Structure 1
Amino acid sequence: MARPILTLDNAMVRYDRLTAVDNVSLELRRGETLGLIGESGCGKSSIARAIVGLQPLSEGTLAVEGETLKDASRQHRLILQRRIQLLFQDPVASLSPRLTVRALLSEPLKIRNAFTAENWGRIMRLAERIGLGEQLLSRYPHQLSGGQARRVALIRVLAAEPSIVVADEPTAGLDISVQGDLLNLLRGLKDHLGLSYLLISHNLNVVGRVADRVAVMYLGRIVESGPTAALFRGPAHPYTQALLSANLTLDPSRRHERIVLSGELPSPAHPPAGCRFHSRCPLVQPICAAEAPALRAGEDGRAVACHFPLAARPAVIPQTIAG
């Protein structure tokens, strides 16, 4: 098993009185893609912001390549943090409208005082590899398509020579064919450059296609994790099963009855006691409201936080996983 390149241990992220991430532990292994899924507001983006240094951890530790960031010197911490780069969900918004593509691609090198002929040549080879022609260098962000803007944003990320890329909804708003091209590109770059990805997405078909493992979040906590194929084929947590049942599929033979959860999503500022899912769980028992279940490791790398985990039963399986 590959050793972790990034470890998040008992992490908590608070905003005033709101605890967005509550005692979360994650491992990203070298060369793998870890998918992070869950409803909006469950804490996925807060984890991403904490990992890339945009939001400090309230508690817990973050380690990169075995080194804990808070124990490193300021200079060394910056070096470690630079190895993690964020691919923003909205690429156009992340690009300055006043700069051409050429200026946008050279900016990360200039910030690091690393703008040399050799490094610029590396950037241009990357641009050629991902299909960003030289004719686009004189354009501004508003003159780019969604796919082109994502390619520019991706090259800016790679200009820092990261070992970890946090991709926040990388295919959002793209046509299906463009999504496929981008996913193939990300997989090719992972192998070519030795990258590890943390992939945050609502698109379960995307996660099923590219993720090696998946972690499922609900109200700030991880409720289930495991290898993608095993988790999608047989979810052990009732929330995971309901989440996967809502997945869209065009193949009638793969459709399953959707599980509609009762009740409203509780406020993250006032989560329920005990299991946070118990107020919506169709299998709730008295212990669920009184005692929070621990995330327990099981077979085949699976882990689930549930007092009464489901027996393996199929959910709606993305077409790239099923078969």
Structure 2
Amino acid sequence: MTTPALALDRLTVRYQTLQAVDGLSLQIQPGETLGLVGESGCGKSSLARAIVHLADSEGGIRIDGEDVGDRMRRDARFVAAKVQMLFQDPMASLSPRMTIRKLLEEPLRIHGRFNRENWAEIESLAADLGLGQQILGRYPHQISGGQARRVALVRALAVKPRILIADEPTAGLDLSVQGDLLNLLAGMKQRFGLSYLLISHNLNVVGRVTDRVAVMYLGQIVESGDTATVFRAPAHPYTAALLSANLTVDPARRRERIVLKGELPSPHNPPPGCRFHQRCPHVQDLCRGTAPVPTRLDDGRTVACHFPLAGSGAERKAELA
């Protein structure tokens, strides 16, 4: 079997009394784009920050089969050399005191890779993305938001990482610019052999560019699998509700809207049993007291639900995931 590019084993992220990520396990295969979706506050960004060591975590993180904790004790730059992140606000991720040239040089210098050949590659990549010599001498406040996203991308690719985490990469962009950015990311994936973790609220984007999708609710994954399979026939009621709210101009693809009652429970005090049971339109007594175990279906997807939706293939439940 292929060694996953990234493997998370029971990863947990806590902020004092808040458990943002709760025992989450997930894998991304080499060359794969995994979409991560869920409501605001479910822990998506905390998960991303834990992977790149911007948040403390418990549990296992392996990159290309290597335990991150072991490697970081020997080389503090190990994760940064393997995983880079595109932040939701690219302008805020760029130091206002450095020119674009210095910002692009910095990762090469940190990793001891700054030389004429490597810098020539960065200049060539920047030029390919529309960042000419005149841009390199400017400061972040002197460039547009679209240019800032391209600078952040070139900066992330400077150390030739294996995995790129993109947190809401299309947020705040109009449709034409979104398309350009997604095409750009697809091209970079092929060019550099990247694996992607794409975090987004935009289900149309997730449906278009990801190979697999993971649905997150209150710090846990409730459903994951092939994107086309999950989008066509969701097995978890929460996934079905998310997809029903997705806007589409094609009448044939519209779903009957599922309106969830109640508010999202507080991550400070999650409910017992299934965490979704207070809002689930299909709740039964078992859900209120017993947490569902993630179960693998015959079609390869995994769902954490006592009573998966009919028509999703859930009646063919197989071994525990």
TM-score (norm 2): 0.94
Alignment partner of 1:93: what SS? Answer: helix
Give CA-to-partner distance per residue, 1:78-108, whole Å, 9 cap, x none.
Answer: 3244211111110011111222211211122
1:29 aligned partner: 29
1:49 aligned partner: 49
2:318 aligned partner: none
2:115 aligned partner: 116
Quick one: distance in 2 between partners of 1:181 and 1:115? 30
Deviation at 1:125, TM superposition (A): 1.4
Q: Residues 61 and 148 from structure 1, CA distance in 2 versus in 1: closer, same or farther, beyond 3 angstroms?
A: same
| Residue 97 (structure 1) aligned with residue 86 (structure 2) | no
Give CA-to-partner distance per residue, 1:5-51, whole Å, 9 cap, x none.
Answer: 11000111111111111110000100000100000010111110110
Q: Which runs of 5+ in 2 are unaligned?
A: 313-321
Deviation at 1:207, TM superposition (A): 0.7
Alignment partner of 2:275: what SS? Answer: coil
Deviation at 1:130, TM superposition (A): 2.1
Q: Residues 106 and 182 from structure 1, CA distance in 2 versus in 1: closer, same or farther, beyond 3 angstroms?
A: same
What pairs up with 1:11-26 in 2 under 5 angstroms? 11-26=11-26
* Poorly superposed stretches of 4+, deviation over 4 Å: none
Quick one: distance in 2 between partners of 1:203 and 1:172? 9
Quick one: distance in 1 between partners of 2:65 and 2:109? 29
> Is the contact made by 1:225 and 1:302 (CA closer than 8 Å) also made in structure 2?
yes
> Is the contact made by 1:296 and 1:303 (CA closer than 8 Å) also made in structure 2?
yes
Deviation at 1:138, TM superposition (A): 2.0
2:253 aligned partner: 254
> Is the contact made by 2:31 and 2:195 (CA closer than 8 Å) also made in structure 1?
yes
1:227 aligned partner: 226
**Length, aligned pairs only:** 313
Quick one: distance in 2 between partners of 1:43 and 1:71? 25
Deviation at 1:249, TM superposition (A): 1.3
Deviation at 1:158, TM superposition (A): 0.5
Q: Which amino acid aligns with 2:203?
A: L
Quick one: distance in 2 between partners of 1:45 and 1:293? 24
| Residue 145 (structure 1) aligned with residue 144 (structure 2) | yes
Deviation at 1:252, TM superposition (A): 3.0
> Is the contact made by 1:34 and 1:198 (CA closer than 8 Å) also made in structure 2?
yes
State the percentage of identical aligned residues: 65
Quick one: distance in 2 between partners of 1:81 and 1:149? 20
Alignment partner of 1:72: what SS? Answer: helix
Alignment partner of 1:197: what SS? Answer: strand
Deviation at 1:3, TM superposition (A): 3.0
Q: Which amino acid aligns with 1:29?
A: Q
1:320 aligned partner: none
2:70 aligned partner: 71
> Is the contact made by 1:146 and 1:174 (CA closer than 8 Å) also made in structure 2?
no
For the aligned residue pairs, the C-alpha RMSD in angstroms reads 1.5
Quick one: distance in 2 between partners of 1:34 and 1:243? 17
Quick one: distance in 1 between partners of 2:194 and 2:260? 37
Give CA-to-partner distance per residue, 1:275-307, whole Å, 9 cap, x none.
Answer: 000000000000000100011111222110000
Quick one: distance in 2 between partners of 1:73 and 1:124? 30
Quick one: distance in 2 between partners of 1:81 and 1:112? 9
Quick one: distance in 2 between partners of 1:159 and 1:173? 25
What pairs up with 1:151-230 in 2 under 5 angstroms? 151-230=150-229
1:135 aligned partner: 134
> Is the contact made by 1:39 and 1:202 (CA closer than 8 Å) also made in structure 2?
yes
Deviates more, 1:89-98 or 1:246-255: 246-255
Quick one: distance in 2 between partners of 1:207 and 1:2? 24
1:319 aligned partner: none
> Is the contact made by 1:69 and 1:77 (CA closer than 8 Å) also made in structure 2?
no
Deviates more, 1:76-85 or 1:47-56: 76-85
Q: Which amino acid aligns with 1:228?
A: T
Q: Which amino acid aligns with 2:190?
A: D
1:293 aligned partner: 292
Q: Which amino acid aligns with 2:254?
A: R
Quick one: distance in 2 between partners of 1:152 and 1:77? 25
Q: Which runs of 5+ in 1 are unaligned?
A: 314-323
Deviation at 1:173, TM superposition (A): 0.7
Deviates more, 1:139-148 or 1:159-168: 139-148
